[in-house]
Structure 1
Amino acid sequence: MSDIPVIDLSKAPGERAAWDRRSWVVYLWAICELLFVTNPWQISSTLRVRVLRAFGAEIGEGVVFRPRTRVKFPWKLAIGARSWIGEGVWFHNQDHIRLGNDVVISQDTFLTTGSHRHRLDMGLITRPITIDDGAWVTSRCIVLGGVSIGRSALVKPGNRVDTAVPANAIWDASAVVAERFG
């Protein structure tokens, strides 16, 4: 097995590859996120939204933002009007995440726009996520970078989304696999 290459991680590109703000802004955001956004107390959704907007998030009117949420970079987040963000949602947005109007992202869902060049140098690769009006990503889903979820689509609980979901579709990755290979 010694002929299989291993990447020397001490030479991998730095962790700040996605930072497009000064260090002090990123660190200040981390403090504010902990106090006002990730905080598990049932403080006001309006306060969470105000803090996110103060750091550059574009958030429409009437958005509900529940406790225990995480946002890597608020300046790379856009959420349309009347959308609901469930408790424990994590926007790991090293690239842009855009949600339309009336979108629901349910509890403990993880949206990540980043990955790594694992066969080359572990450099960061990012791709945006777009979720159209009226879509519902139910609880404990994983949405990967480069994905778009169509208008009024529904992603069933516990699913991984790594390809486009058409408008009005009900997405269940296990059913898709069974359909392809069954």
Structure 2
Amino acid sequence: MSDIPVIDLSKAPGERAAWDRPAWVVYLWAVCELLFVTNPWQISSELRVRVLRAFGAQIGRGVVFRPRTRVKFPWKLSIGDRSWIGEGVWFHNQDQVDVGSDAVISQDAFVTTGSHRHRSDMALVTKPVAIDDGAWVTSRCVVLGGSRIGRSALIRPLTLVDGVSVPPGEIWGGSPIEKCGTRFGNGGNV
């Protein structure tokens, strides 16, 4: 076993590589996120959206942002009109996350754009995520960097979307993820 290497994490590069803002902005955002976005007692979706916009998020009209949500870096988040962000959704967006219009991200879904070079130095590696118009990421899904969920596609509960492109109008789920049907018309099973 002694010939299996261990990476010295004290030498891992990039602790703040994804910040893209001065430290004081990141820390101020952390306080505002806690008070106005993540806070389960703060019931105003409109206030959450205003605070996110104040920190650079591009959020369209009529977006519903439920309590207990988290956004790592609002300046790397874009959401189109009339989309619904469910309670407990976490955007761990060290890279850009683009959510289209009329899209739904349901309760406790986790969208993350970052990982690490696990074979060498544990440096941060990021890839953007795109969730297109009308797509529905159902509850407790995990969407990893490099993933694209096509127009009006549906991801079934508890699914890991591991950097794949889900075609428009299809239903995907399972482990490993695979096509389960179509969302509209013949062939749909939901």
TM-score class, shorter: over 0.9
Instruction: Write the deviation string for residues 12-50 of structure 1: whole angstroms up to 9, x where unpaired.
Output: 114211110000000000000000000001421000000
Question: What are the within-5 Å matches in structure 2 for residues 170-181 of structure 1?
Answer: 170-174=171-175, 176=177
The yes-or-no answer on 1:104 pairing with 2:118 is no
Tell me how many residue pairs correspond in the alignment: 179
Q: Contact 1:161–1:173 (CA<8 Å) still a contact in 2?
A: no
Q: Distance in 2 between matches of 1:131 and 1:79?
A: 9
Q: Contact 1:80–1:101 (CA<8 Å) still a contact in 2?
A: yes
Could you tell me which amino acid in structure 1 is paired with residue 60 of structure 2? G
The yes-or-no answer on 1:160 pairing with 2:163 is no
Question: What are the within-5 Å matches in structure 2 for residues 114-129 of structure 1?
Answer: 114-129=114-129
Q: Contact 2:106–2:137 (CA<8 Å) still a contact in 1?
A: yes
Question: What are the within-5 Å matches in structure 2 for residues 35-54 of structure 1?
Answer: 35-54=35-54
Q: Distance in 1 between matches of 2:176 and 2:165?
A: 15
- Aligned-pair CA distance for 1:173: 2.7
CA RMSD of aligned residues (A): 1.5
Q: Contact 1:103–1:134 (CA<8 Å) still a contact in 2?
A: yes
Q: Distance in 1 between matches of 2:67 and 2:26?
A: 21
The match for 1:139 is 139
| Runs of at least 5 residues in structure 1 that lack an aligned partner in the other structure | none
> Could you say if the C-alpha distance between residues 157 and 130 of structure 1 is closer, same or farther in structure 2, counting changes exceeding 3 Å?
same
> Could you say if the C-alpha distance between residues 178 and 90 of structure 1 is closer, same or farther in structure 2, counting changes exceeding 3 Å?
closer
- Aligned-pair CA distance for 1:108: 0.2
Instruction: Write the deviation string for residues 96-147 of structure 1: whole angstroms up to 9, x where unpaired.
Output: 0000000000000000000000111000000000011000000000000000
Could you tell me which amino acid in structure 2 is paired with residue 122 of structure 1? M
Question: What secondary structure is seen at the aligned counterpart in 2 of 1:15?
Answer: coil
The match for 2:84 is 84
Q: Which runs of 4+ in 1 moved over 4 A?
A: 175-179
Q: Distance in 2 between matches of 1:76 and 1:156?
A: 26
Q: Which has the higher helix share?
A: 1
> Could you say if the C-alpha distance between residues 150 and 10 of structure 1 is closer, same or farther in structure 2, counting changes exceeding 3 Å?
same
Could you tell me which amino acid in structure 2 is paired with residue 164 of structure 1? S
Q: Contact 2:85–2:104 (CA<8 Å) still a contact in 1?
A: yes
Question: What secondary structure is seen at the aligned counterpart in 2 of 1:16?
Answer: coil
- Aligned-pair CA distance for 1:55: 0.2
Q: Distance in 2 between matches of 1:90 and 1:178?
A: 25
Q: Distance in 1 between matches of 2:73 and 2:53?
A: 11
Percent identity at matched positions?
77
Q: Please report the TM-score for the alignment, with normalisation by the length of structure 1.
A: 0.95
Question: What are the within-5 Å matches in structure 2 for residues 13-28 of structure 1?
Answer: 13-28=13-28
Question: What secondary structure is seen at the aligned counterpart in 2 of 1:32?
Answer: helix
Q: Distance in 1 between matches of 2:178 and 2:169?
A: 19
Q: Contact 1:127–1:146 (CA<8 Å) still a contact in 2?
A: yes
